Amino acid sequence: MNFRIADTFTDSLARLTGEEQKAVKTTAFDLQLNPASPGMSFHKLDNARDKNFWSVRVSSDLRMIVHKTYDSLLLCYVDHHDKAYQWAERRKLETHPSTGAAQLVEVRESVQEIIIPVYVGAAEPKPPLFAHMSDDNLLSYGVPADWLADVRRADEDSLLGLADHLPAEAAEALLDLATGVTPQPVQPAAAGDSPFDHPDARRRFRVMSDVEELERALDYPWEKWTIFLHPAQRQLVERDYGGPVRVSGSAGTGKTIVALHRAVFLGRANPASRVLLTTFSEPLANALRTKLFRLIGNEPRLGERLDVHSMDAIGQRIYGLHFGRAKIAGRNVLRNLLAEASVRVEGHKFSPHFLQTEWELIVDAWQLETWEAYRDVPRLGRKTRLSEQQRQLLWAIFDQVRSRLQSDGLMTTAAMFGKLTARLIEIARSPFDFCVVDEAQDINVPQLRFLAALAGGRPNSLFFAGDLGQRIFQQPFSWKGLGVDIRGRSRTLKINYRTSHQIRRQADRLLAPELSDVDGITEERRGTISVFNGPGPIIRELVSRDEEARFVGQWLQERMAEGIKPHEVGVFVRSDAELDRAGSAVAHSAFPCKIIDDTIETTMGFISVCTMHLAKRLEFRAVVVMACDDEIIPLQARIEAVTDNADLEDVYNTERHLLYVACTRARDHLLVTSGDLPSEFLDDLQM
């Protein structure tokens, strides 16, 4: 007998309390081991439209809904008695007449009306979106036949409400069409194939071959979202490109997933190749490595040809092969060298912060080795204007630092990449055939030069995924000027799979509706749609830190009572200085927490607490963003370090991006709080 589990089952299981989930899992394991056991209490649902629906007793009030035939058992749903029965009475399992895929379809007659979400304001009636489309066309996208009339009447106000009632592939295709994207029609199943073998069905129904696989599916239902590739994104993954390409999109639109699948596709399509999957930090590389393992866990030989490293780690590794180990000067060493050189140059008033950023973003980044090179370099992103006399004073400082590094046998990471880039160009041979780069908005100048040399201009050799709205580390610069021209090969994703409509809509208020890079390529953020609804974010301005901690603790308790597990919750603060506030708040919830750093990952049984910068690699069902006080975000120390008012713009932008990143780590629930005078950004969130 085929034993399958539907995504509706794992979703409903996640909404139960911890004790309820344990009881359900025990019953599910017993079912898999022996569905015919006399101890299994099956009850046929006479009122269900689908006569193969049965209930299985878990406890006095909990019921599992299963679809049972002579050769298969499908776990469909679990809830308290009345709600479970109501769910079954409104559903049927059928094979789609055009695609041949198995679908759990809501019975149209059971839905009295399509509810328009509350966030839609009263307005003039809007024209239907799909009235011009034929039945065959709509059916080709997986729309159930019973819902054709409703789809044809849908306008932009009612579409999200309608999408909640449709199978995932149909809802996502309609959302694509509504945002101006023409999705590929679903390919019909081959004659004789099982409806459960269709690619769309495999997204929803999984065959459980043993108890261990079932245990993993029930323990980690969230994981399916971390590696899910929407069929409409497959064309980006499998397409041939004549040059570098960049896939962009707001948080939650699947850029990282596209990058992962692109790396795997290139490895499979080119059996003798080596593929580098990289990103700008070690924590992000660790997260990519985990997702890659989940994606190709049953293909170990493919994994041997897919290297996952942070940019600095792969740079040091390849540098070591060519030159020996690089002796890297850390930031503290450079800070001291700059301070010593600054004292020896008279007649300037440059602050230590200005000297360090000028060194890092201009002199070191562009590997300037002469006064003439520094005099003539466009200081892109550095808004403080400098006269030639000021530049001469600065170069006198920087030249001393360069000489000291050489005499001490040290080099910066940028210098390492510069030397390595020159060697790769010289030998015209790369250790990798393809490079896939995630979070590309935060790679720097020497890293991009290195990637261009690594790729060598070969077709399909460079693939970037990133979002200008999440740039939190690097100042902007011209990619085209470094030989990476993505014009005409830039794609923007518009469908958000991770974050509810309500959370995404609120977080988007922190950013402009469109963002442009230095090369004039614009990312249009308007028109992005989430594929599901949820409760609205809560933004609460508390009068004291103690009151904030108590409120957050109570909110966390309420989420846990709804069935959310501790490891599905994240609490973020602006910097290390606020970590104690977060820990105090979690303590009020009576649940344990762990501080997440560059090396520690999320842990089962613990709420994760970390800074907003480290939130970049994480995703949670529920998120708290705490301590959003004035002078904390935007950080007052960064503002005070600015020497020119024009530089404030970049400080404010990256601080906004940081809060945006933190808020968009949430899938279902978001709480944003302050415990003192609130940040001005909270006004923007509540506009």
Residue 123 has pLDDT above 70, yes or no: no
Residue 529 has pLDDT above 90, yes or no: no
Arithmetic mean of pLDDT, 249-257: 89
- CA Rg value for the chain: 27
Domain edges within the chain: 2-221, 231-311+430-511, 331-410, 535-685
pLDDT in tens, 156-165: 778 878 888 8
pLDDT at 271 over 60: yes
Q: What distance in Å separates the CA atoms of residue 265 and residue 272, rounded to the nearest whole number?
A: 13
pLDDT of residue 164: 84
For position 600, what pLDDT does the model report? Answer: 65
Distance set, CA 129 to CA 155, 156, 530, 580, 621 (Å)? 5, 7, 17, 51, 32
**Local structure of residue 509 (DSSP, 8 states):** G
Q: What is the DSSP letter of 131?
A: T
Average pLDDT over residues 641-653: 75
CATH 3.30.70.2470 fits 2-221, yes or no: no
Average pLDDT over residues 29-48: 86
What is the chain's mean pLDDT, rounded? 89
User: What's the length of the chain?
Assistant: 687
Q: Assess whether pLDDT exceeds 60 at residue 222.
A: no
Residue in the structure block whose two tokens are 């950023």: 357
d(CA 574, CA 596): 14
Q: If you average pLDDT over residues 553-574, what whole number do you get?
A: 94
Higher pLDDT, 431 or 111: 431
Whether 208 and 3 have beta carbons less than 8 Å apart is answered as yes
The 8-class DSSP code of residue 115 comes to P
Q: Are 410 and 329 in contact (CB under 8 A)?
A: yes
User: pLDDT value at position 116?
Assistant: 46
Q: What is the pLDDT of residues 45-93, one digit of tens each?
A: 999 999 999 999 999 999 999 999 988 999 999 999 999 999 999 999 9
Which pLDDT belongs to residue 226?
Answer: 62
Calculate the CA 483 to chain-centre distance. 28
Provide the whole-model pTM.
Answer: 0.75
**Ramachandran bin of 409, using left for φ above 0, alpha for ψ from -120 to 50, beta for the remaining angles:** left
Q: Are strands 514-516 and 522-524 parallel, antiparallel or unpaired?
A: antiparallel
Nearest to 246 by CA among 454, 511, 472, 448: 448
- The answer to which of 250-254, 263-267, 321-325, 422-426 has the lowest mean pLDDT is 250-254
Lowest mean per-residue pLDDT among 177-191, 347-361, 476-490: 177-191
What's 158's DSSP letter?
Answer: T
DSSP, res 602: P
- Of 645 and 92, the one with more pLDDT: 92
CA distances from 75 to 9, 239, 685 (A): 6, 36, 41
3.40.50.300, 3.90.850.10, 3.30.1360.120, 3.30.2350.10: CATH of 231-311+430-511: 3.40.50.300
Residue 438 near residue 255, CB atoms below 8 Å:
yes
Q: Residue written as tokens 């002199």?
A: 363
Q: What is the pLDDT of residue 237?
A: 94
Task: Tell me what pLDDT residue 530 has.
Answer: 83
Average pLDDT on 535-557 reads 96
Residue from 586, 667, 660, 608 nearest 283 by CA:
608
Distance CA(206)–CA(75), nearest Å, equals 10
The CATH number of 535-685, from 3.10.350.10, 1.10.10.60, 3.40.50.300, 2.50.20.10, is 3.40.50.300
User: What distance in Å separates the CA atoms of residue 396 and residue 368, rounded to the nearest whole number?
Assistant: 13
pLDDT over 70 percentage in the chain:
94
Q: Tell me whether the CATH fold assigned to 2-221 matches the one assigned to 231-311+430-511.
A: no
Strands lying side by side in the sheet with 245-249: 306-310, 275-279, 434-438, 462-465, 245-249, 490-493
In contact, 35 and 26? CB cutoff 8 Å: no
Amino acid residing at 325: R
Residue 364 has pLDDT above 80, yes or no: yes
How confident is the model at residue 118, as a pLDDT?
A: 45
Structure tokens at 217: 């599916």
| Mean pLDDT of all residues in 647-663 | 89
Give mean pLDDT, residues 590-611.
86
**614 DSSP assignment:** G
Residue 168 confidence class, pLDDT cut points 50, 70, 90: confident
What is the rounded CA–CA span in Å between residue 476 and residue 441? 9
Range in 77-91, 367-381, 595-609 with the lowest mean pLDDT: 595-609
Q: What is the arithmetic mean of pLDDT over 565-587?
A: 96
From 174-188, 255-269, 530-544, the region with the lowest mean pLDDT: 174-188
Cβ–Cβ under 8 Å, residues 258 and 290: no
What CA–CA distance (Å, rounded) separates 453 from 313? 17
Percent of the chain's residues with pLDDT above 90? 58
The mean-pLDDT minimum among 58-67, 249-258, 535-544, 624-633 falls in 249-258
Q: Higher confidence at residue 437 or residue 351?
A: 437
Residue whose structure tokens are 């729309």: 143
Output the pLDDT for position 223. Answer: 56
Q: Could you tell me how far CA 639 lies from the centroid of its own chain? A: 29
Mean pLDDT (whole number) for 129-134: 91
User: What was the pLDDT predicted at 114?
Assistant: 54
Gap between the terminal Cα atoms of the chain: 55
CA–CA separation, 604 vs 590, rounded Å?
16
* pLDDT computed for residue 644 by the predictor: 63
Question: What's the confidence (pLDDT) of residue 121?
Answer: 44
pLDDT mean over 403-413 = 97
Question: Contact 540/574 with Cβ under 8 angstroms?
Answer: no
**Tokens coding 448:** 């991009």
CA-to-CA distance for 435 and 491, rounded, in angstroms? 18
**In this model, does residue 381 exceed pLDDT 70?**
no
Task: Give the C-alpha separation, 280 to 273, whole Å.
Answer: 23
